[in-house]
Structure 1
Amino acid sequence: MSDLSLADVYRARRRIEGRVLRTPLVASPALSAVANAPVYLKLETVQPTGSFKLRGATNALVRLAEAGCTRVVTASTGNHGRAVAHAAHALGIEAAVCMSSLVPSNKVEAVRALGAHAHIIGKSQDDAQREAQRLVREEGYAYVPPFDHLDVIAGQATIGIEIAEDLPDVEQIVVPLSGGGLFAGIAFAAKQIAPAVRLTGVTMERGAAMHASLAAGRPVLVDEVETLADSLGGGIGLDNQHTFSLTRQLIDEVVLLDEPSIARGIVHAYEDEHLVLEGAAAVGIAALLAGRLGDSPVARGPIVLIVTGANIDMNQHRRIVGEALQGATA
């Protein structure tokens, strides 16, 4: 399947212990009623950087630090950059984060607040990636990929181990789908432990690179456009080494969502789950509310929704919730 092993994932868990939280798995009565099956939320929002990305970044940077690395660079849509900045700061490593102009300003400022150098370049994740590669080539930085790297995948895969331990009878895991590091990691670990578990990837209709690549049978380029699920934007890399093949082998279904559905997921999370979520983190909730989960004869539940991050611009969040309230009272 790949060079990744379950032993790698357990080693990653030991490596990040004490630096990354084991996150709670909480029942959602409201969503369970909608699905007519037990639904649980895996709350990566409680990580120190507000998203799951800290797992993979920490695993990769600890290994680099052990090898004597002192400077790292990455390309990011925001959350991975923040995670790299956090892990680098904790390890005493210099960090640079390359981001496109589409990355929300709150995520850029969060990177800078952790002492990393923020390089804003171009209008796509691919532009940011090229700048990161230039820094590697010309200035000697070590590159920490946002998803297509075995240490990063192994770090994210620790979520799958935690789910299998906390909910051994899980039948379906619903994962936001972007570059595939999170999906591939969780799916790999979960299916190694419980081969019958169903893995569903959820993403936005607009600019979904992994979905387009799966449909084409190879990594392809897509136009990156603005979306409420901005953390799911960006390409998967035409030279993708790991996440495309792992995702293609492990995924059972892809669900695509329009922007109103994503907004509804954000609003439900706030009103019914008391969670402030970014759009990418709300896509599992949104898919369930849209009737896209829970009806499969293959998997009735328990269902776990991976809630990936809380780093939404609060002005945007207030607008989305306010518009929903206005619509409800109109």
Structure 2
Amino acid sequence: MKAALRDFAFEAGFSGMGVCRPDAIPAAKDRLGAFLGEGRQGQMSWLEERAAWRGDPGALWPEAKSVIMLAEVYEPEDSLALLSERERGIVAGYARGKDYHDIVKKRLKRVGRWLLEQAAGEEIKVFVDTAPVMEKPLAEAAGLGWQGKHTNLLSRDLGNWFFLGAIFTTLELEPDAPEGEHCGSCTACLDICPTNAFPAPFQLDARRCISYLTIEHHGPVPEEFRPALGNRIFGCDDCLAICPWNKFAARAREARYAGEAAPELGALAALDEAGFRERFKGTPIRRLGHARLMRNVLYAIGNSGAPHLAAAARPHLESADPAVRDAAAWALSRLGDMGESADRVT
């Protein structure tokens, strides 16, 4: 059954599969508790609200006997090469095309239906990133890879660039051996972080992470981090992109994940609500909302060193959103173009 399941999962578009028990990550609960105890989740209150389920997969669905972890590869253009394109805003590789939640979930359901056809009377639940499931520890326990020093999952066969999905099932499947850690003495991912978001290897302080600051954080980003954002407007791939294990990365099989890596800042700043919804329909960026994207674009304009982009920033001094007005004022001050318009920010 397990071998046939693996074959079908690969046929369905996945690049890796492993199985573990729901109780295979006993240390996760304490690690999560320590993370929350330090306040490193920032504004992500949902992490604390559902910590009991997140730290114990068995509590999420007590009837489950096996967790099937599946990996789907994406293959982005190198973000590090785009950092010098200061008049363009970098989008994290996973968010450039079709929303992975939709694609991966459909594949998981297809695999799940096949499994139910083979094992009558069993049940399944599928999860992609939106439920209180700790996918990375479970994937490590299932032998798909290991959590590197940057806390993301790494694989000797897939590199960094892959999504994770989970199928919980009442079917008893033989678990795979967990993957050991293979980072060695390498600290490339820690050294490259623009905001020093890693207090120690294998630890992340989300409050300093550019992915958190540009996506999860509401309101103005603390000024100390704004210059380090550079031209990143949605997420950050630096710690993933620098990893030496990427030389073994598998090729993506899904073309819909491809998209524009770094759109022009001036064009983005000109988008109104309707234009934003239309341009980013069906992508992860759509869930960010117009105001937060404008805030991020304005920080990037402020970091661009391009005085002509002041014209794109200036109209946002009249925004209804205070974080956008603040970002516009900051951008104009960085470009030396604030003038008397500072009074209009408040």
Asked if these proteins are the same fold (TM beyond 0.5), I'd say no
TM-score category, normalised to shorter length: under 0.3
Instruction: Look at both structures and tell me which one has the larger radius of gyration over its CA atoms.
Output: 2
TM-score by length of 1: 0.27
TM-score by length of 2: 0.26
Which structure has the highest strand share of the two?
1
